Structure 1
């Protein structure tokens, strides 16, 4: 292999920030190439040892909800060009599913999630760290529309969850990780200039890593 090494891009940002749109835009651009997407959401902790009532109390916006040890182990394997078995999370049972998704190693790895920049060990594996920074009012509007339309939630329950969990967790844990970002993209997926810059930067690194 020589010095060939995949490019690892971390994309963080609050819920509804547009980080998924940015991720998709970059992914689409390199679709013909060797690229994979690793979502932090797949790496919520296994809670099968807890009674169901306790699992219902899970705070999915807290750093401790994630099994970062497994995520780091998997990311290190992918960087070494070894395949992994990605875990699957079952949101109806609020624990890890028995299923796994086999994932082959690729030349470009996008790691996306609200807290991917929070763990220093994860940051150390990244070549580019992105934070998608979108105003709170837009984030809550997007979250409302999504949760009501796609998840059958009531307006009251979305607002209640936002005020009691999402907002305080964002301010305490997600927002502060902005300082670790190499690039802060305002207004997510609509920011075509920022996405173009990212794509160019990724190509440069790929060339340096003797991949392209």
Structure 2
């Protein structure tokens, strides 16, 4: 009988480097059966709300996420069933009509700012990683990303950080650090920590007879 897939949770604040850590792990195991499932594809469908209401969405709050659907999809993948991953359209602030077909794999990396906040998600994970990066580095990274990739102004990025991102981080994201099995300082730049994590993941996969 085939073993249940392994689930690796990767979290941390916006700009912490969690995506770099996810990519480093993925690259190491990419010759094997592995997929990345991003929590931010699972923002709630808001098509029932007027556009003006959707504009008020706080994307850093746990209530913004449709964790019920995310958990339903993970449970399907754990049974080696394919899923249709939702796509979120930020231009209309609701879910797109398009989906992405995802085939099941032996290793699932679940990545997002609040994947450790929901106990139901934590209970599905074999290893939980928290990428811990100082706030000044996170705001600089976010600023560069939002200005270069999203055409934002410096002032709008600062306003959003001060009014939404920082308080949500302190209230909801930072406290989930206590649930992590491994805390990785400085994200993808920390090659020693990533090497140690990869070794631990290899052990888990060997125990599950996946490698």
Give TM-score, length-normalised by structure 2.
0.99
Query: Could you list the runs of 4 or more consecutive aligned residues of structure 1 that deviate by over 4 angstroms after TM superposition?
Result: none
Q: Which runs of 5+ in 1 are unaligned?
A: none
Distance 1:136 1:81 in 2: 39
1:20 equivalent to 2:19? Answer yes
Q: How far apart are 1:80 and its partner, in Å?
A: 1.3
Q: Name the structure 1 match of 2:69.
A: 70
Moved more, 48-57 or 197-206: 197-206
Query: How far off is 1:82 after superposition?
Result: 1.0
Please report the RMSD computed on the Cα atoms of aligned residues, expressed in angstroms.
0.6
1:38 — aligned with what?
37
Pick which of 75-84 and 131-140 moved more: 75-84
CA distances 1:143-194 after superposition (whole Å, capped 9, x unpaired): 0010001000000000000000000000000000000000000000100011
**Deviations along 1:99-138, whole A, 9 cap, x unmatched?**
1101011011000000000000000000000000000000
Match of 1:184 in 2: 183
- The alpha-carbon deviation at position 211 of structure 1 amounts to 1.6
In structure 2, how many angstroms separate the alpha carbons of the residues matched to 1:106 and 1:202?
15
- In structure 2, the partner of 1:170 is 169
Structure 1 residues 60-89: Cα deviation after superposition (integer angstroms, max 9, x where no partner): 000000000000011111111111110000
Give the CA deviation at 1:210: 1.3
How many residues are matched? 211
For 2:116 and 2:175, the matched residues in 1 are separated by: 9
In the alignment, structure 2 segments of 5+ residues that lack a partner are none
CA distance in 2, matches of 1:6, 1:46: 28
Give secondary structure in 1 for the equivalent of 2:7: strand
Q: Deviations over 1:41-67 (max 9, x none)?
A: 000000000000000000000000000
Indicate the residue corresponding to 1:204 in structure 2: 203
Q: Classify the secondary structure of the residue corresponding to 1:105.
A: coil
TM-score by length of 1: 0.98
Shift of 1:199: 1.0
CA distance in 2, matches of 1:185, 1:136: 15
